[in-house]
Homo-oligomer: A and B are copies of this chain.
Amino acid sequence: MKNFEFHNPTKIIFGKDALNKIAIELREYGKSCLLVIGQKSARGSGAYDRVVKVLKEGGINFWTLEGVQSNPLLDKVQEGIEIVRKNRIEMLLALGGGSSMDTAKAISCGVKLNGDVWEVFEGKKEIKEALPVFCIPTLAASGSEMNGFMVITNMEKGLKLAAGSPHLFPKVSFLNPELTFSVPENYTAFGGVDAICHLLEPYFNGPYPKTPVQDEIAEGLIRVIMETTESSMKNPKDYDSRASLMWAATLALNGLTRAGVGDHPFPVHLIEHSLSAIYNIPHGQGLAALLPGWMNWKAEEKDEPQKIAQLGKRCFGIEKGLDDKMAAKETAKSFGLWLNKINCPKCLSEISIPSADHEKIAENALFQARVWGIEDIYNKKTILKILSFCQ
């Protein structure tokens, strides 16, 4: 196991009555908040009205920032920063998916910065403080409700970049699985794929230090996410399925399975951010199109088939006797079939992205790789090679 630091101070309130505790928790930190919501679903599902009622009854003053879209935009962050500054708002409360939560986080630190918050994403400025953030996720996917990361898209520059800070951990997140009952089938699947990808990227961190604790937790969460993604798609109002999917997705990126595996970039996320930025496709859909190809690239090109084989044997019923190379190939194939089963693409051609676009995608991803300081490993040639495996 590699040396690590693990510190996750976010408090989770989970269950059917989680929203009832919003006001009591927020009052520990202030009296006013900006409620950040998406385009339609928060109002449509009745979640917005429930939250508003709780805030009013609890004596919390609030303003609403509406219209955050998936692949959330810098413009909306800047709009939020202005509202917060103008009204001297003390806290952020996000209601929605990763987009609303990440927008709230970007506002929370942007308010405290001199200059443009985008500089944080380009690695030019450090986050030294932030307003308290609270989250009410309505989608099991990003894990943003229990981590210090955010991803924002700058349309003008055509870039979707991630940034993180210990200051961005939500103080409290309120998880009511019932809020995910209305998530449509396709987004339920995209969310499951996103959570699995959060687990796989650290898991496939070759040359693989011995990390049986992290492996067991990641493999267990993957099995649960696969099962409950399917059962949630079939029975959208099955509380137990939605609850396990939601908690598994939260744990999938709360630091637990990353701690001890050593430094690891998120190359699939890196490349997917470029797909989202260029084609404006849902994040989970882009990840699905990349994952099996990335596994094959890992096993064949990088010659690191061991953990892919282990995953297959423990999560996909791949025959225990197979050698690593063969088992890894079978794993990528099985995973692709599962993606198709939940109506997700297993390669780029299935979402009509042609080989001719690889150059453009690689250029975009390279910019991000530079910001992350990993362009020595993920240079243009490597990214193009991975894309060829994903075609």
Contact = CB atoms under 8 A, between A and B. Distances in A.
A49 to B, nearest CB: 22
B17 A247 contact: no
A213 interface: yes
A338 interface: no
A3 interface: yes
B17 A6 contact: no
Contacts of A251: 213
Nearest to A223: B216
A10 to B, nearest CB: 8
A213 B219 contact: no
Interface string A130-167: 00000000000000000000000000000000000000
Nearest to A12: B6
Contacts of A259: 12, 14
A260 interface: yes
Interface in A3-59: 3-18
Nearest to A247: B213
A223 B1 CA distance: 17
A18 B3 contact: yes
A212 interface: yes
When all copies of this chain in the complex are counted, the total is 2
A95 interface: no
B212 A227 contact: yes
A5 B16 contact: no
A17 B5 contact: no
Contact of A7 (B11, B216, B244): B11
Of A5, A6, A221, most B-chain CB atoms within 10 Å: A6
A5 B9 contact: no
Interface string A232-245: 00000000100110
A217 interface: yes
A111 B62 CA distance: 41
Tell which of A7, A213, A260 has the most Cβ of chain B within 10 Å. A213
Contact of A247 (B5, B247, B260): B260
Contacts of A220: 213, 216-217, 219-220
A212 B244 CA distance: 7
B240 A210 contact: yes
A18 B2 CA distance: 12
Contacts of A227: 212
Nearest to A177: B1
Contact of A14 (B3, B217, B243): B3
A16 B1 contact: no
A248 interface: yes
Given A3-B18, A212-B224, A216-B223, 16 more contacts: A1-B15, A1-B244, A5-B12, A6-B11, A7-B11, A9-B9, A14-B259, A14-B260, A210-B240, A212-B228, A213-B220, A213-B244, A216-B221, A216-B224, A217-B220, A243-B260
Interface of A: 1-18, 177, 210-213, 216-217, 219-221, 223-224, 227-228, 240, 243-244, 247-248, 251, 256, 259-260
22 contacts: A1-B15, A1-B240, A1-B243, A3-B14, A3-B16, A4-B12, A4-B14, A5-B12, A5-B13, A7-B9, A9-B9, A12-B259, A14-B259, A14-B260, A210-B244, A212-B223, A212-B224, A212-B227, A213-B220, A216-B220, A216-B223, A243-B260
